[in-house]
């Protein structure tokens, strides 16, 4: 797929149904996070990193049972021209408070900001996570077709309470289920050379509680969420934001 004809990750959600406006009462991070010394492991140099056991299994289970009760909507199978085919059930909310909790009450902030050898990766000075929180559920037969994720301009509340201009630079995916919970398939697959061929596929297997970050925007690798063939894949998606 040529870069100039690339299919984009979906932009704003379709006009109906509308994104939720009332923030969910997300479960507490219990036990307190992080549960292990988080480490940033590189899977594809300068493009994909993972932090394993970001959520413990028990917290993943708490989240999945909580998320089940949210008003998820099935995305249309027929996307607008230029948008990726994405077939899953999803919930979306602008929730700056939860984005901030994920950033500053989990150990993520410390591990990313203190890792001096990582500083060059993020595309600027990290200021937090995108308040646009997305929850995906994939059931058997559902998938996210190959696409690129865009960088977006957003506004983030700083520690002093002011809104500050920011830009998303990396996609954040937090996997809540895996084969250990009966989820078969659903790997996130990257194609470093923009060719969706089995030979060039770098497949990241699901691991409950693992957080994955991948570079997006101009340098985004073509990627997809493989079809789920058994059980359910649950993911929380947001983005890493830098100062603009």
Shortest distance in whole angstroms from residue 9 CB to ligand AKG: 4
* No. of helices (H) and no. of strands (E), the chain: 3, 17
Q: Judged by CB under 6 A, which of 62, 83, 149, 227 binds ligand AKG?
A: 149
Q: Judged by CB under 5 A, which of 83, 149, 232, 239 binds Fe ion?
A: 149
Stretch that binds Fe ion, among 43-51, 102-110, 144-152, 232-240 (CB under 5 A): 144-152
Give me the residue label for tokens 């299994």: 57
Nearer to Fe ion, 62 or 224 (CB): 224
Asked whether 92 and 19 are in contact (CB, 8 A), the reply is yes
Nearer to Fe ion, 9 or 242 (CB): 9
Shortest distance in whole angstroms from residue 191 CB to Fe ion: 12
Nearer to ligand AKG, 35 or 204 (CB): 204
The CA-based diameter of the chain, rounded to the nearest angstrom, is: 49
Using rule CB under 6 A, residue 188 touches ligand AKG:
yes
Say how far apart CA 91 and CA 39 lie, in whole Å: 29
Shortest distance in whole angstroms from residue 199 CB to ligand AKG: 20
Using rule CB under 6 A, residue 235 touches ligand AKG:
yes
Interaction residues for ligand AKG, span 116-145 (CB under 6 A): 136, 144
Shortest distance in whole angstroms from residue 171 CB to Fe ion: 6
> Which of 126, 98, 101 lies closest to 112, judged by CA?
126
Say how far apart CA 207 and CA 215 lie, in whole Å: 20
Say how far apart CA 89 and CA 129 lie, in whole Å: 22
Shortest distance in whole angstroms from residue 149 CB to ligand AKG: 5
E-strand stretches of the chain? 41-44, 48-51, 73-74, 86-87, 89-94, 126-129, 132-138, 143-147, 153-157, 163-175, 184-185, 188-191, 202-204, 211-215, 222-225, 228-230, 233-243
Nearer to ligand AKG, 35 or 67 (CB): 67
Q: Residues in the site for Fe ion, rule: CB under 5 A?
A: 9, 149
For binding to ligand AKG (CB under 6 A), which residues are involved?
A: 9, 136, 144, 149, 171, 173, 188, 223, 225, 235, 237
């Amino acid at each position: 797929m040529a870069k100039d004809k690339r299919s984009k990750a979906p932009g704003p959600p379709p006009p109906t149904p509308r994104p939720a406006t009332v923030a969910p009462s997300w479960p507490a991070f219990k036990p307190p996070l992080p549960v292990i010394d988080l480490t940033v492991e590189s899977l594809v140099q300068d493009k994909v990193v993972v932090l394993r056991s970001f959520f413990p299994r028990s917290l993943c289970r708490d989240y999945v049972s909580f998320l089940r009760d949210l008003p998820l909507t099935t995305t249309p199978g027929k996307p607008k021209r230029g948008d990726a085919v994405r077939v899953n059930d999803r919930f979306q909310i602008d929730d700056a408070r939860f984005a901030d909790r994920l950033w500053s009450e989990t150990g993520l902030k410390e591990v990313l900001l203190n890792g001096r050898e990582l500083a060059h990766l993020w595309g600027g000075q990290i200021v937090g996570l995108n308040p646009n929180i997305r929850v995906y559920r994939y059931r058997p037969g559902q998938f996210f077709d190959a696409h690129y994720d865009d960088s977006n301009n957003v506004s983030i509340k700083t520690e002093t309470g002011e809104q500050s201009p920011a830009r998303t630079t990396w996609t954040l995916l937090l996997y809540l289920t895996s084969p250990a919970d009966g989820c078969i398939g659903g790997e996130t697959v990257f194609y470093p050379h923009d060719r969706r061929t089995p030979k060039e596929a770098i497949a990241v297997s699901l691991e409950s509680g693992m957080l994955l970050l991948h570079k997006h925007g101009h340098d985004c690798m073509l990627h997809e969420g493989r079809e789920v063939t058994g059980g359910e894949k649950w993911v929380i998606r947001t983005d890493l934001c830098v100062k603009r």
